[in-house]
Amino acid sequence: MAWFKKEKQPIAPTPEEARVVRTEGLFTKCPQCSRALWKKDLEDNLGVCTKCSYHFRISARRRLELLFDEGRYTEYGSDLFSPDPLGFHDKRAYADRLQEARRTTGLNDAVINAAGQLSGRKVLVCAMESNFISGSMGCVVGEMITLAVEKAVEDQTPLVIISASGGARMHEGTFSLMQMAKICSALARLDRLRIPYVSILTDPTTGGVTASFAMLGDLNIAEPGALIGFAGPRVIEQTIRQKLPKGFQRSEFLMERGMLDAIVDRRQIKDFLTRSLCFFCDR
Amino acid sequence: MNNSDPKAQIELLQKRIRELESNIDSDSSEEKIKQLRQEMGLLQAERDKLDSIWKKTQLARHEKRPYTLDYIHRIFSDFQEIHGDRRFADDPAIICGMAHFEGRQVMVIGHQKGRDLKERQYRNFGCANPEGYRKALRVMKMAEKYQRPLITLVDTPGAYPSIGAEERGQAEAIALNIREMAALTIPILVVVIGEGGSGGALGIAVGDRILMLENSFYSVISPEGCSAILWKDQEHMREAAQALKITAEDLLSFGLIDEVVPEPENGAHADHDAAAEILKNHLRRHLEDLLAIDVETRLNERYRKFRSMGVIESRAPVAAGR
Ligand SMILES: [Zn+2]
């Protein structure tokens, strides 16, 4: 089939079956039900298969458009920029990877910080971009999310973080690890001030992102079928030398084991947030 | 040098030099030999550096290295272990307990590795399950309730990656510990005594002072794991260890830790008593410092400490596709 191809995820720490399918033309093939979908229909349906409700990955920008009233928001922190603190080099220079990711996404790093109105209520939203070096978290992502949490504290404004990340970014070494502590320290303040925080876990959310802010919402919700975990499936398989059970580390698996508050279809997320924030904020 | 395999390059250069030497026909080949020798010297230096960093990471994992209990028995008295998370199990990979430190009541928490095969398996090689982190949090909260300072000893390859650990919320357990430690009102001293393995280390490593033993390391991923993912093989862990900059010295220079604790001349494994004595002196000094600060100031300083970690510049983004 010439009209679709698998998109490569060059350094995904948890490789899996490619879930992103891109068309050259007007069709996209659903990886779950194998039906050919009109791209336009798919887009109108928020990137959810019109036949089987499979959730395609969508960009951080698109997520913000979907949540904010009239798709309008203001960005902050977009100028923050990684100077490659370790001068990291593997088979390829990290500086080159960064430059390429910046070029393809139009972002400086793997998250967008936005402020705007959601159903008429002021909210702050951080949306992670999984196309930027697997959505991994280095100093810039750590700083931006911390900024958002601090802004939420300062303005007494509810916070929503949409995660899509392979975890802490190896190329910034221990700096990346410490971003987990930095963000969680800010979240401790938010928590004690009783300012609402809803965490939305999307495909994929793993490693240091799951093991820090993504699991610390007042509500932790996920889209259907998202890969969510601490260790990547391959690492676990190699460690325990066992086949992993079917559906392991998918949203439904996590909810069954008590790790998620709800699984929410993308088309209902705005409504879910509206009602939750109402519960938290309205007197 | 852009190629990350100096060993192969050195061998290549040696071969070329031998070829040229066996066939000297002009001044130009002598000049060439000189040049190649110089290049080889640089490569050799690079390789020596790789070796010395790798040696450090191997010392951090040395099978005779003092583990948490070895330090506990030498530095503290009246240690009384506290077991279990009151939810599911007692995780032997993390040890918690009440103890005296020079007459003062303190809480001690640390990862525990095993010395022989049987004990290693029992301790799960120092790789904790969610229950370990939950036990630690329970005990930390108790320490806070009775206002006893907390000392944690970090020594883990990482949190355990298994089906059960995922099912029981490994990520959530670690995340909660990190957040709650940031807000604990008691003084917290953290010491990386061996391996500081990623989130599994951080789950008991948020505090007012972060110390690292001279031959310990603290990393976002193991050099082996990094090699597997970025180099896509198991051969480049030395290069990964160097690229990740995980030694105590590096992390001190980045402002990610507060102090490097020296080890006895041949490493902590060579003399447990001496290593413990040095650590004890460092703990005393830092604990006295922290106890002299009021709670609010201490918490603000702890916040600022982690808040300032990172290196960032400012530059306007360029539109996609350009
Ligand atoms: Zn479908």
Residue A15 clears pLDDT 70, i.e. is over it: no
Closest residue in A to B179 (Cα–Cα): A184
Tell whether B183 is within 8 A of chain A (Cβ): yes
Domains of chain A, CATH where assigned: 25-56 (no CATH), 57-281 (3.90.226.10)
> Distance, in angstroms, between B134 CA and closest chain A CA?
14
Q: Any CB–CB contact under 8 A between A224 and chain B?
A: no
Q: Is residue B322 over pLDDT 80?
A: no
Q: Please give the C-alpha separations between residue B268 and each of A2, A46, B89, B215, B246, in angstroms, as whole numbers.
A: 62, 58, 32, 8, 18
| Model pTM score | 0.91
Q: Find, in chain B, the residue whose alpha carbon is nearest to that of A150.
A: B307
List, for residues B31-71, the tens digit of each pLDDT value: 888 888 888 888 888 888 889 999 999 999 999 999 999 99
Selecting from A106, A176, A249 the residue whose C-beta is nearest the C-beta of B220 gives A176
A16 interaction partners in chain B (CB closer than 8 Å): none
- pLDDT over threshold 90, residue A4: no
In one-letter notation, the amino acid at residue B128 is: A
- Predicted confidence at residue A22, as pLDDT, reads 52
Residues 158-177 of A with CB under 8 A from B: 168-170, 172-177
Q: What is the mean pLDDT of residues A7-30?
A: 57
pLDDT of A6 reads: 39
Q: Are strands B188-197 and A4-6 parallel, antiparallel or unpaired?
A: unpaired
Each residue of A218-228: pLDDT tens digit?
999 999 999 99
DSSP string, B155-195: EES-S--SHHHHHTTHHHHHHHHHHHHHH-SS-EEEEEEEE
Nearest to A161 by CA among A102, A226, A229, A218: A218
Q: Which has more pLDDT, B144 or B24?
A: B144
Q: In angstroms, what is the span from residue A31 Cα to ligand 1's centroid?
A: 7
Is the Cβ pair A168, B320 closer than 8 Å? no
Residue B26 pLDDT greater than 70, yes or no:
no
Q: How far apart are CA A136 and CA A206, in angstroms?
A: 10
Structure tokens at A139: 């100093």
Banded model confidence at residue B15, pLDDT cuts 50, 70, 90: confident
Q: Sort out which chain B residues have CB atoms less than 8 A from A90's CB and list them.
A: 4, 226, 230-231, 236, 239-240, 243
Residue A104 Cα to ligand 1 midpoint, Å, equals 27
pLDDT higher at B170 or B29 = B170
A151 and B CB contact within 8 Å: no
Alpha carbon A77 to its chain centroid, in Å, reads 17
Interval A72-128: pLDDT, tens: 999 999 999 999 999 999 999 999 999 999 999 999 999 999 999 999 999 999 999
Q: Where are the alpha helices (DSSP H) in chain B?
A: 6-21, 27-60, 68-75, 117-122, 130-145, 163-167, 170-183, 198-202, 223-226, 237-244, 248-253, 272-291, 295-307
- What does chain A come to in residues? 283
